[in-house]
Structure 1
Amino acid sequence: MTTAEAPHLDLPQGLPSFQAPPKGFIGHALRAGWQDFRAAPIFGLLTGAAAMFAGWVLLGLTLWAGHTFWLILAVFGFPLVAPLCALGTYEVSRRIGAGLPTDVGAVFRRLRAEQGRQLPWLSMLLVVALLFWFFLGHMIFALFLGLKPMVNVTTSLDVFLSVDGLMMLALGTGVGGAFALLFFGICVLGLPLLLAREVDYVTAMLASLSYARTWGAPMLGWAVLIAALLFLAMLPALLGLLVVLPWLGHASWHIYAQVASGAR
């Protein structure tokens, strides 16, 4: 494998210079992401299919166990790990911009090379955050509805529409939204930054969070759009994830590429 095939061997050192989000940067990212998806669709389709099948397995297990409330937690928790699921599409877009091969083998080799770098640490943090969200969500449910008679989500809607149920949904939505915004801020530039440059994961997280806080309004718009598109993609039996997840993954790289100097 040559140096050109393994750009992780000679990545630029340290943080790039960040600039303000240019006008229309979200629309540009979506268009460029769609072009990348069409140019190299195989890895993106594999990513979307993996997320879709994982969702089906979770759905089957919760229905089998009779604890369909966990589906609500999964739906609201998925945006926490969606950037991690789409990580390979970042690499595909980076390779397209750098003129490198985009075949599945080359992408997998590049991602495998990350095992000895900083990306796994941030990945583990995202997984821990998702598990903590499930724990916290279950605590909130037990606090408000633990003593309520309930069979499952579809046959117990009256429980959710009670005073305790509405309070539980309000608190859970607020806590889940805060979690999602925090980890969006950490990952929106942090993940592509770790792929593109030689920098430790704490520095990448703080730089990403600082940028998201500085440019709160435009970055919040991107976060809301991601959440809305992912939610819509999950409605038709998760089938929309097959296209929407990789599309957003490619677009996320182009968000980074527009604000970071020397992104490629």
Structure 2
Amino acid sequence: MVSPTRWIERGWEDLRANPVPGLVHGLALAVFGWLLVWLARDRFWLLAGAFSGFLIVAPVLATGLYHVSRERAAGRKAGLREVLALWRSFDGRLVRFGLLLGLAGTGWVMTSAGLITLWSPAPILKPLDFFRHVVLVKEVGLFEVWLLVGSLLAAPVFASSVVAIPMLVDKSVPVSMAVTASWRAVADHPGPLVWWAVLISMLVGLGMLTALLGLVVVIPLIAHASWHAYRDLTAFAPSAPVSAP
């Protein structure tokens, strides 16, 4: 059944059944987020760029958790050793896809910087400046356009990756085939996948509002749920171990 709330429930079941790999992933990404905040705390565009890249590439960084969910579905338990083995395989397809996502994040940061620089009534040098002069202004305009442009740029990234990344872990297929399958899934199920994107945004936002502590649980929850989303959205046969094409 194509149901994002059901994906979350099943992801939570996977996390509860085998919490260690997920919590280690979540803690590692939360610590990385804290490091970004500390290094770029007074440099708004560096912080914005770092976090944009961080959030866009995070699905690739969580690929080990797709493997954990796959193994549980097959009646096996995968630990950190198996996850590390997957990473050591250094799958070139995932590396290339991660680089493409990083480029997409860079494009958004440059677009955002240009938009804010041209329209903002005051220079934006720190995160507080952004909230004061863009987010909290009474006039409708810049912030709403900024959100709209961000959504329009994020949509194709989401459509290209929602099925593609777990498929690259699950199947020995080219990146192009995985991306095509991802777009086909979005075209076939637009309503549920819009709701899935909203749910992911809400969960990530909640994780960030808790001083990134919530990401320790949110990241593995979304990763496990994404595996179940992939399985429901595709008509592939039972999973096969990943191998280089």
TM tier relative to shorter chain: 0.7 to 0.9
Q: TM-score, normalised by structure 1?
A: 0.80
| CA–CA separation in structure 1 for the residues paired with 2:224 and 2:231 | 11
Q: Aligned runs of 1:101-112 on 2, under 5 Å?
A: 101-112=77-88
2:24 to 46, 62, 68: 46
2:114 to 133, 139, 155: 139
Given that 1:88 and 1:107 are in contact with CA atoms closer than 8 Å, whether structure 2 keeps it comes out as yes
Q: TM-score, normalised by structure 2?
A: 0.86
| CA–CA separation in structure 2 for the residues paired with 1:97 and 1:198 | 19
Given that 1:73 and 1:134 are in contact with CA atoms closer than 8 Å, whether structure 2 keeps it comes out as yes
Q: Which stretches in structure 1 are left out of the alignment for 5+ residues?
A: 1-21
Q: Match of 1:238, SS?
A: coil
Given that 2:57 and 2:102 are in contact with CA atoms closer than 8 Å, whether structure 1 keeps it comes out as yes
Q: Residue 243 of structure 2 aligns with which residue?
A: none
CA distance 1:193–1:72, change in 2 (3 Å): same
Deviation at 1:210, TM superposition (A): 2.0
Q: Aligned runs of 1:11-160 on 2, under 5 Å?
A: 22=1, 25-63=3-41, 66-68=42-44, 70-72=46-48, 78-113=54-89, 115-145=90-120, 148-150=122-124, 152-154=126-128, 157-160=131-134
Q: Residue 176 of structure 1 aligns with which residue?
A: 150
CA distance 1:251–1:52, change in 2 (3 Å): same
Given that 1:256 and 1:263 are in contact with CA atoms closer than 8 Å, whether structure 2 keeps it comes out as no
Q: Match of 2:127, SS?
A: coil
1:200 to 167, 171, 174: 174
Runs of 4+ in 1 over 6 A off after TM superposition: none
Deviation at 1:157, TM superposition (A): 4.5
Count of residue correspondences: 237
Query: Larger radius of gyration, structure 1 or 2?
Result: 1
2:200 to 217, 220, 226: 226
Given that 1:186 and 1:205 are in contact with CA atoms closer than 8 Å, whether structure 2 keeps it comes out as yes
Deviation at 1:143, TM superposition (A): 1.6
| CA–CA separation in structure 2 for the residues paired with 1:74 and 1:200 | 28
Deviation at 1:241, TM superposition (A): 0.2
- Percent sequence identity is 31
CA distance 1:155–1:184, change in 2 (3 Å): closer
| CA–CA separation in structure 1 for the residues paired with 2:75 and 2:127 | 49
Q: Residue 17 of structure 1 aligns with which residue?
A: none
Q: Match of 2:23, SS?
A: helix
Give the aligned residue type for 2:164.
G
Task: Report the aligned-residue RMSD.
Answer: 2.4
| CA–CA separation in structure 1 for the residues paired with 2:86 and 2:50 | 29
| CA–CA separation in structure 1 for the residues paired with 2:105 and 2:116 | 16
Q: Which stretches in structure 2 are left out of the alignment for 5+ residues?
A: 240-245
